[in-house]
Amino acid sequence: MAKTIFKQIIDKEIPAQIVYEDDLCVVFHDVHPQAPVHLLVVPKKEIVSFNELTAEDTPLLGHLFAVIQKLAKEFHLDNGYRIVNNCGKDGGQSVAHLHFHLLGGCQL
Ligand code: 5GP
Protein backbone atom coordinates (compact mmCIF):
# COMPACT_ATOMS: atom_id res chain seq x y z
CA MET A 1 0.00 0.00 0.00
CA ALA A 2 1.27 3.49 -0.85
CA LYS A 3 2.58 5.58 2.03
CA THR A 4 0.38 8.44 3.16
CA ILE A 5 1.73 11.97 2.96
CA PHE A 6 2.14 11.95 6.76
CA LYS A 7 4.14 8.71 6.71
CA GLN A 8 6.39 10.32 4.10
CA ILE A 9 6.86 13.31 6.43
CA ILE A 10 7.63 10.96 9.35
CA ASP A 11 10.19 9.15 7.19
CA LYS A 12 11.66 12.54 6.12
CA GLU A 13 10.95 11.78 2.46
CA ILE A 14 9.10 15.04 2.02
CA PRO A 15 9.69 18.27 3.94
CA ALA A 16 7.50 19.75 6.65
CA GLN A 17 7.92 22.49 9.21
CA ILE A 18 8.48 20.16 12.15
CA VAL A 19 8.18 21.85 15.55
CA TYR A 20 8.43 18.80 17.79
CA GLU A 21 9.47 15.17 17.48
CA ASP A 22 10.05 12.25 19.82
CA ASP A 23 10.03 8.46 19.58
CA LEU A 24 6.26 8.30 19.35
CA CYS A 25 5.10 11.30 17.38
CA VAL A 26 5.91 14.21 15.14
CA VAL A 27 4.27 17.65 15.10
CA PHE A 28 4.39 20.05 12.16
CA HIS A 29 2.61 23.09 10.77
CA ASP A 30 -0.42 22.41 8.57
CA VAL A 31 0.34 23.43 4.99
CA HIS A 32 -3.07 25.18 4.75
CA PRO A 33 -3.47 26.77 8.18
CA GLN A 34 -7.00 27.53 9.37
CA ALA A 35 -5.80 29.65 12.31
CA PRO A 36 -2.64 31.61 13.26
CA VAL A 37 -1.42 28.43 14.95
CA HIS A 38 -2.41 25.22 13.17
CA LEU A 39 -0.31 22.21 14.09
CA LEU A 40 -0.78 18.56 13.20
CA VAL A 41 0.09 16.05 15.91
CA VAL A 42 0.82 12.71 14.26
CA PRO A 43 1.77 9.39 15.86
CA LYS A 44 4.62 7.58 14.15
CA LYS A 45 2.62 4.37 14.44
CA GLU A 46 0.52 3.92 11.31
CA ILE A 47 -3.04 4.07 12.61
CA VAL A 48 -5.55 4.84 9.88
CA SER A 49 -8.01 6.82 11.99
CA PHE A 50 -9.34 7.43 15.48
CA ASN A 51 -11.70 4.52 14.91
CA GLU A 52 -8.79 2.08 14.54
CA LEU A 53 -7.35 2.89 17.98
CA THR A 54 -7.30 -0.08 20.35
CA ALA A 55 -6.77 -0.50 24.08
CA GLU A 56 -3.08 -1.08 23.33
CA ASP A 57 -2.87 2.50 22.04
CA THR A 58 -4.17 4.09 25.25
CA PRO A 59 -0.68 5.14 26.48
CA LEU A 60 0.11 6.54 23.02
CA LEU A 61 -3.10 8.57 23.05
CA GLY A 62 -2.25 9.92 26.49
CA HIS A 63 1.18 10.88 25.21
CA LEU A 64 -0.27 12.71 22.18
CA PHE A 65 -2.54 14.75 24.45
CA ALA A 66 0.38 15.58 26.76
CA VAL A 67 2.35 16.79 23.72
CA ILE A 68 -0.61 18.92 22.62
CA GLN A 69 -0.75 20.54 26.07
CA LYS A 70 2.99 21.20 26.03
CA LEU A 71 2.87 22.76 22.54
CA ALA A 72 -0.14 24.90 23.46
CA LYS A 73 2.06 26.39 26.20
CA GLU A 74 5.04 26.82 23.89
CA PHE A 75 2.92 28.55 21.25
CA HIS A 76 1.41 30.80 23.94
CA LEU A 77 -2.17 29.69 23.39
CA ASP A 78 -2.95 31.06 26.82
CA ASN A 79 -6.54 32.05 25.98
CA GLY A 80 -7.43 28.57 24.82
CA TYR A 81 -7.36 26.46 21.72
CA ARG A 82 -9.18 23.77 19.80
CA ILE A 83 -8.21 20.12 19.36
CA VAL A 84 -9.81 18.51 16.30
CA ASN A 85 -9.86 14.99 14.97
CA ASN A 86 -11.62 14.27 11.70
CA CYS A 87 -12.52 10.58 11.54
CA GLY A 88 -13.36 8.82 8.31
CA LYS A 89 -15.16 10.01 5.21
CA ASP A 90 -18.15 11.62 6.90
CA GLY A 91 -15.83 13.20 9.45
CA GLY A 92 -13.96 14.93 6.65
CA GLN A 93 -10.68 13.05 7.15
CA SER A 94 -8.50 13.58 4.09
CA VAL A 95 -5.26 11.86 5.20
CA ALA A 96 -5.63 8.24 6.29
CA HIS A 97 -3.12 8.42 9.14
CA LEU A 98 -4.42 9.39 12.59
CA HIS A 99 -3.73 13.01 13.51
CA PHE A 100 -4.99 15.74 15.78
CA HIS A 101 -5.25 19.37 14.72
CA LEU A 102 -4.20 21.94 17.32
CA LEU A 103 -5.72 25.30 16.39
CA GLY A 104 -5.40 28.61 18.17
CA GLY A 105 -4.07 32.13 18.26
CA CYS A 106 -7.44 33.77 17.53
CA GLN A 107 -11.09 33.56 18.55
CA LEU A 108 -12.32 30.42 16.80
P1 5GP B 1 -7.75 16.01 7.74
O2 5GP B 1 -8.62 16.67 6.71
O3 5GP B 1 -7.35 14.62 7.31
O4 5GP B 1 -8.30 16.05 9.13
O5 5GP B 1 -6.44 16.89 7.82
C6 5GP B 1 -5.39 16.77 6.95
C7 5GP B 1 -4.61 18.06 7.05
O8 5GP B 1 -3.34 17.83 6.48
C9 5GP B 1 -5.24 19.24 6.28
O10 5GP B 1 -5.49 20.30 7.19
C11 5GP B 1 -4.20 19.59 5.24
O12 5GP B 1 -4.07 20.99 5.05
C13 5GP B 1 -2.93 18.99 5.82
N14 5GP B 1 -1.97 18.56 4.83
C15 5GP B 1 -2.23 17.83 3.71
N16 5GP B 1 -1.09 17.58 3.03
C17 5GP B 1 -0.08 18.16 3.75
C18 5GP B 1 1.32 18.24 3.54
O19 5GP B 1 1.90 17.72 2.59
N20 5GP B 1 2.04 18.93 4.49
C21 5GP B 1 1.44 19.50 5.56
N22 5GP B 1 2.25 20.14 6.43
N23 5GP B 1 0.11 19.44 5.79
C24 5GP B 1 -0.65 18.77 4.89
Given 38, 63, 76, 99, which residue is catalytic?
99
- Please list every protein residue whose CB sits less than 6 Å from any atom of ligand 1: 5, 16, 28-32, 40, 86, 92-95
What are the Cα distances from residue 20, in Å, to 25, 35, 105, 108? 8, 19, 18, 24
- Determine the distance separating the centroid of ligand 1 and the alpha carbon of 42, expressed in angstroms: 11
Distance CA 108, CA 97 (A): 25
Domain 5-104 is found in CATH 3.40.390.10 = no
pLDDT tens for 91-105 read 999 999 999 999 999
**pTM greater than 0.85 (yes/no):** yes
Catalytic annotation present for 29: no
pLDDT tens for 39-83 read 999 999 999 999 999 999 999 999 999 999 999 999 999 999 999
Residue 1 has pLDDT above 90, yes or no: no
Residue ranges per domain, the chain?
Answer: 5-104
Between β-strands 81-84 and 18-21, what pairing exists: parallel, antiparallel or unpaired? unpaired
